[in-house]
Amino acid sequence: MVIVVGDDLSGWAQRPVLEAALGGHMKGLDIVSANAYVGAEPIADALLAGAEIVVCGRVADPSLTVGPALAHFGWARDDWDRLARATMAGHLLECGAQVSGGYYADPGFKDVPGLATLGYPIAEIDADGHCTITKPPGTGGRIDVHTVKEQLLYEVHDPAAYLTPDVVADIGAAMVEVVGTDRVRLSGVRGHPRPAGLKVNVCHETGWLAEGEISYAGARAEARARLAADVLRERLAGLGRLRVDLIGAHSLFADDAGEWLAARPPGEAHDVRLRVALNHTERGAAERLAREVTALYTCGPAGGGGVRTNLRPRLDIVSCSVPREQVPIGHRFVAADDAGVSGAAR
């Protein structure tokens, strides 16, 4: 087994690298982790060295497919077109059964048969990097031009310049065609030289997240939930922005300031769960939310029940780009023996 190491940039030795990348954003950050998105080359090198299992830290999703293809076909490390095609094959696979209909399913609009026995997708990649997406026979789900196109565009910020550690992929002229039952071929992908830097996610502490929920049901449930939200806003005034959701009436499309919710005319939902949340740098201040939500039991409005509160440390992420030569990527070879596990790094 080979472990790909070097993505972890959280140590003190790497602080100058992060400071140069983040500039003023680095000041005051209580860093928990900092990891670079590693590409396919160390995976390919490990496989070419004889590894049967390769374990990675932070690695770009499509690189998990590009690495084995790179090793198997022996492509040049700057064969941008082939690398881009394998990258998009990896992109189609990276969310698992999403491309075979899982995340696509929307009954009555985008029907997917056999969702309970959904088949995991398979990418058949040829020597030029073109791929055919399919799934095991007899499994549920569907693979057609619709599911493949939806996944192909998923999280792609620029179809002409999809940035990865291995290549900049261009799907502007890509072709998606059915070549059999649950078999779709992707072709026409082009590639451009890879970025000079690697993306790094820096995770840091940012205080406490307090949450509280309480349910209201029956006649005028929504009005009572709204009144409870108003009570909490008044009692917690001065602590910061309170996130308020009326789950069952208005929640996912609300905003942290509560202005959108306040502007909506009251409805007549008969089953509403009020959720409130607060971020604060001080634990004691955040704990106030839990106490105030619990107090709604008997302090009103009427009929509230099922209170649940939670308090946990909150983390946030800031991203940057680091020159790839400053990321010390390497391998650790690990062998299992009767005495346990031993390893050597290089």
pLDDT for the residue numbered 340: 44
Q: Which CATH number fits domain 207-314: 2.102.10.10, 1.20.1740.10, 3.40.50.300, 3.30.70.1120?
A: 3.30.70.1120
Q: How far is CA 68 from the centre of its chain?
A: 23
Q: Among 160, 215, 217, 222, which residue's Cα sits nearest to residue 192? A: 160
Q: Which residues of the chain have pLDDT under 70?
A: 249-267, 336-346
d(CA 148, CA 88): 11
> Which pTM does this prediction carry?
0.87
Q: How far is CA 78 from CA 149, 186, 232, in A?
A: 27, 21, 59
- The domain segmentation of the chain, as residue ranges, is 79-192, 207-314
pLDDT by residue (tens digit) across 62-89? 999 999 999 999 999 999 999 999 999 9
d(CA 109, CA 206): 42
pLDDT for the residue numbered 339: 36
pLDDT by residue (tens digit) across 321-345? 999 999 999 999 887 653 344 444 4
Element housing 296 (H / E): helix 283-299
pLDDT for the residue numbered 24: 80
- Contact of 40 with 67, CB cutoff 8 Å: yes
